[in-house]
Structure 1
Amino acid sequence: MPFLQLILPIGAADPAPYEDALLAAGASSITLEDEGDDPVLEPLPGTTPLWPRVRLKALFDGAVDRDEVLGMLNAELGSKLAQALAGASFETLADRAWEREWLKDFKPMRFGRRLWICPGGQQPDEEQLRDSQPAVLIELDPGLAFGTGTHPTTALCLEWLDAAPLAGKRVIDYGCGSGILAIAAARLGAAEVLAVDIDPQALLATRDNAERNGVAQLIEAHLVEDGADDSRENPADILLANILAGPLDSLAPAFAARVRSGGQLVLSGILRHQAEAVASRYAPWFDIGPVVVRDDWARLDGVRRPTPPPPSN
């Protein structure tokens, strides 16, 4: 059954009354989108930020009358808010499995020499695999969490993992999202992986993807505030954090406490112009190597220096 989609640009207006009006007019679903080019990559806990300019998309039964929908919206919104309807447009959408629509733009991707990230049901062809043996294939469905490998920050971390000696290592993936880095570490030989995030949806995606890839027994996933890990008493060999510069700055002492002497730190989610400041923040504990940049995003790699012993009395 086809659907009728109403597209309504509302700019910086509060979307709530428009959502209420659309539901009253019979919309079966409403989506908010960025009308400009102002991505919100990682909101703070407890916040739901919106873009400077918002576009609403509402789905209706394909048999509804367009004029009737607009008339109901006019009646619900009142004259001032209804002015936005001048920019409204309609389109007919064929019925399909909407929850799988993301797959059409997500193909198998290689990172480094052997690591492949694949959407569910897709595999690289034989020619693609020829020069990446022995290939490590990870089947991924991000669900509602961030992380498919397509963003430069994730790609930078996956390439680091592909080249790292991970056998027997204890790894922390801080800000695990879909679990892509945690699962890659486990598939590449890590003995145990702690996956941490602020979002319960991320933990669901991580656990589901870990099960899908046969590494659920190697990955423990929990919320940041649960504090269920023992990484201070049993520090990690490797800590990866693909988040943003602000949280990375505030977490520097905590990360230093969670990486063993000689252990490795991998930080991403940093813009090129932020890399120097973040590196300086970690300099008291880590020897930071050269910045690695892709598409104006940066990755910092560091080695934990030994903690000096406390002064003797």
Structure 2
Amino acid sequence: MKTLLWDVYARCYDVIAGLFPYRKMVLDLMNVVPERPRRVLDAGCGTGNLTLAVRGKSPGELVAADLSPVMLERSRRKNPGVTHLPADLDGDLAELPGEFDVILCGNVLYALADPARTVELLKKRLVPGGRLLVTTPKAGAGVLPILREHIRERGIASLWRVIVPLLVVGVINARLLTTPAHHFMTRDQLREVLGTDQIRTTYSGQAWLAVYQESFSEG
């Protein structure tokens, strides 16, 4: 992933976090995180919104990793005391310490060079019974359904103060949607990549939420 694009994105991304559908997506994801997990990794933590949310599950240890220095700095400010690491999820993940009970991967897979490869590497970092929890934009995802749901729930006046950052985010998203290097998957494609049937829609129907659980060791 190219850090310049994500550094620019970071400066506007938290506007999205104020949208009703985004908040609901975060809640949907937190509903499949077990209470008091021993170790949690937020892989591709961005500006730290999921990191902040999962702190409510009282993890024993929480690690947040991202390639963008700007993203990491914003996450650090939101999440003091959390371990933050620079990490390229297109690499071998050697920067990531040990195994985890829960790995979060929120709206990250679509931006990776080879999502299937990264997923396999993340699975190897799960303890027996551990969970890899993924959200990722669907093939054909659009912004209008998200904005319509937000206006329906919060009113149109709530958009005026954030309209400029939203336009910037919209331009970046439009570019991503038309770039062959990005992977906006169908349900079947995501099922093949993750190896799970636990897939549902979230984010006003514009993203997938998937749960992969590592099998328990026998014996």
Tell which has more relative contact order, 1 or 2 (C-alpha 8 A, sep 6+): 2
SS in 1 for 2:25: helix
SS in 2 for 1:144: helix
1:188 aligns with 2:62: no
Letter matched to residue 230 of structure 1:
P
d(CA) in 2 for partners of 1:161, 1:280: 24
Partners of 1:162 and 1:188 within 8 A in 2: no
Partners of 2:3 and 2:68 within 8 A in 1: no
The TM-score normalised by the length of structure 2 is 0.62
279, 284, 295: which is aligned to 2:205? Answer: 295
75, 79, 87: which is aligned to 1:224? Answer: 87
Shift of 1:152: 4.6
Q: 1:271 to 1:151 in 2, by over 3 A?
A: farther
1:135 aligns with none
d(CA) in 2 for partners of 1:262, 1:289: 15
d(CA) in 2 for partners of 1:274, 1:199: 27
Shift of 1:201: 0.7
Q: Deviations over 1:62-86 (max 9, x none)?
A: xxxxxxxxxxxxxxxxxxxxxxxxx
Shift of 1:162: 4.3
Q: 1:229 to 1:237 in 2, by over 3 A?
A: same
Identity %: 16
Shift of 1:200: 0.4
Partners of 1:238 and 1:259 within 8 A in 2: yes
Q: 1:230 to 1:151 in 2, by over 3 A?
A: farther
d(CA) in 2 for partners of 1:239, 1:224: 14
d(CA) in 2 for partners of 1:239, 1:154: 19
1:249 aligns with 2:116: yes
Partners of 2:109 and 2:136 within 8 A in 1: yes
Q: 1:292 to 1:240 in 2, by over 3 A?
A: same
Letter matched to residue 221 of structure 1:
H
Shift of 1:144: 2.3
Count of equivalent residues: 162
Shift of 1:237: 0.6
Partners of 1:158 and 1:181 within 8 A in 2: no
SS in 2 for 1:156: helix
1:159 aligns with 2:24: no
d(CA) in 2 for partners of 1:275, 1:186: 29
2:78 aligns with 209
Shift of 1:46: 4.6
2:103 aligns with 239
Deviates more, 1:258-267 or 1:164-173: 164-173
SS in 1 for 2:13: coil
Q: 1:48 to 1:179 in 2, by over 3 A?
A: closer
* Cα root mean square deviation, aligned: 3.0
Letter matched to residue 95 of structure 2:
A
Shift of 1:184: 1.4
Letter matched to residue 257 of structure 1:
K
Q: Deviations over 1:101-144 (max 9, x none)?
A: xxxxxxxxxxxxxxxxxxxxxxxxxxxxxxxxxxxxxxxxx972
Shift of 1:296: 2.1
Partners of 2:200 and 2:209 within 8 A in 1: yes
Letter matched to residue 280 of structure 1:
E
2:192 aligns with 280
Shift of 1:165: 2.6
Runs of 5+ unmatched residues, structure 2: 140-184
Q: Deviations over 1:170-208 (max 9, x none)?
A: 111111111111121123211111101110011111111
d(CA) in 2 for partners of 1:149, 1:249: 31
SS in 1 for 2:127: strand
Bigger Rg, structure 1 or 2: 1
Q: Deviations over 1:196-252 (max 9, x none)?
A: 1110011111111113xxxx2xx2111114843323xxx111111111335233311
d(CA) in 2 for partners of 1:152, 1:250: 30
Partners of 2:48 and 2:74 within 8 A in 1: yes
2:151 aligns with none
Partners of 2:37 and 2:101 within 8 A in 1: no
